[in-house]
């Protein structure tokens, strides 16, 4: 049996599932196959109003990776906020920069907090090596501006996700935009001082610790490297003849 035949059998099992439990099992098996042919069916499963099936579908789409990005972007359901949130989770997990505009728009303007949260998280999982070197600084600046805005979202779960992504971005831009990192640390400190939610403040403290650890490593790494490259030069005549 070739992959195409297997995909059709697994897809048919999803389409013919006659109970919630069987649907979850069928989507899990389809997701586990890792076959590109399964992408449209997995995307459809995001809108079945079945969280178990949706979780399995997201995992499958993330595992398939780049091949799922364009179908996800083309098939995102603008009328089903639940499906949209799951699709954003899949795109966030893949981290493909082709989803950047979609993540920006969703994180800033979507009415659903679950969609905004997924999009905010996705801005911290981008695969930066996909960005052309000449565009890297401008794209990272754009992401920074977006996250600073999103970190002021009225919903605590969105702010929490923004903090997670700000932490990641602060570490990423150490080499490309070191002067901009203070904007992140200043925003985190402001959130620590003023955010009304304990969970957000706790996450901020964790982010600050991670960023401080990274800064510590940056300070001492050159010294360690120098020490590792130093060699003892024997005095002339000091060795045996």
Q: Please give the pLDDT value at position 33.
A: 94
Supply angle C-alpha 168, 119, 43, rounded to 5: 125
Q: Please give the pLDDT value at position 11.
A: 95
Torsion of CA 83, 87, 88, 94, to 10 degrees: 160
Of the candidates 155, 137, 230, the one whose C-alpha atom is nearest the C-alpha of residue 195 is 155
Lowest model confidence (mean pLDDT) among 124-128, 162-166, 195-199: 124-128
* Residues 210-223: tens digit of each pLDDT: 999 988 887 765 55
Percent of the chain having pLDDT more than 70?
90
Of the candidates 79, 127, 120, the one whose C-alpha atom is nearest the C-alpha of residue 102 is 120
**Residue 66 CA from chain centroid, whole number:** 14
With 50 as the cut, is the pLDDT of residue 143 above it?
yes
* Residues 54-97: tens digit of each pLDDT: 999 999 999 999 999 999 998 876 778 888 889 999 999 999 99
Torsion of CA 53, 58, 63, 66, to 10 degrees: 140
> Distances from the Cα of 167 to the Cαs of 10, 182, 235, in angstroms?
40, 12, 50
Single pTM value for the model = 0.82
Residue 4's Cβ-count burial label (10 Å; 0-12, 13-18, 19+) is exposed
With DSSP H G I counted as helix, E B as strand and the rest as coil, what are the percentages for the chain, rounded to 5? 80, 0, 20
Length of the chain in terms of residues written: 241
DSSP codes, 61-74: HHHHGGGGHHHHHH
| Joined tokens for residue 233 | 């030069």
Average pLDDT, the chain: 89
With 80 as the cut, is the pLDDT of residue 154 above it?
yes
Distance separating alpha carbons of residues 28 and 10, to the nearest angstrom? 10
- Per-residue confidence at 135, pLDDT binned at 50, 70, 90? very high
Cα Rg for the chain, rounded, in angstroms? 23
Average pLDDT over residues 17-29: 95
Distance separating alpha carbons of residues 113 and 155, to the nearest angstrom? 7
Q: Please give the pLDDT value at position 54.
A: 96
Distance separating alpha carbons of residues 120 and 161, to the nearest angstrom? 6
């Amino acid at each position: 049996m070739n992959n195409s035949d297997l995909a059709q059998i697994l897809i048919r099992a999803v389409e013919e599932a006659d109970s919630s439990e069987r649907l979850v099992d069928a989507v899990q098996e389809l997701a586990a196959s890792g076959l590109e042919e399964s992408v449209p069916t997995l995307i459809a499963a995001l809108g079945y109003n079945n969280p178990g099936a949706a979780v399995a579908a997201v995992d499958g789409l993330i595992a398939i990776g780049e091949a799922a990005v364009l179908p996800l972007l083309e098939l995102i359901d603008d009328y089903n906020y639940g499906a949209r949130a799951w699709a954003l989770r899949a795109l966030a997990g893949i981290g493909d920069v082709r989803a950047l505009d979609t993540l920006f728009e969703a994180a800033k303007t979507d009415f659903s907090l679950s969609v905004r949260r997924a999009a905010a998280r996705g801005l911290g999982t981008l695969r930066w090596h996909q960005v052309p070197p000449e565009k890297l600084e401008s794209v990272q600046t754009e992401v920074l501006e977006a996250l600073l805005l999103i970190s002021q979202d009225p919903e605590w779960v969105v702010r929490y996700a923004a903090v997670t992504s700000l932490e990641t971005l602060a570490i990423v831009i150490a080499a490309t935009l070191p002067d901009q990192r203070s904007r992140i640390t200043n925003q985190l400190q402001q959130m620590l001082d003023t955010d009304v939610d304990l969970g957000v403040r706790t996450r901020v403290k964790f982010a600050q610790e991670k960023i401080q650890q990274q800064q510590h490593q940056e300070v001492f790494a050159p010294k360690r490297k120098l020490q590792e490259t130093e060699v003892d030069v024997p005095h002339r005549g000091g060795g045996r003849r």
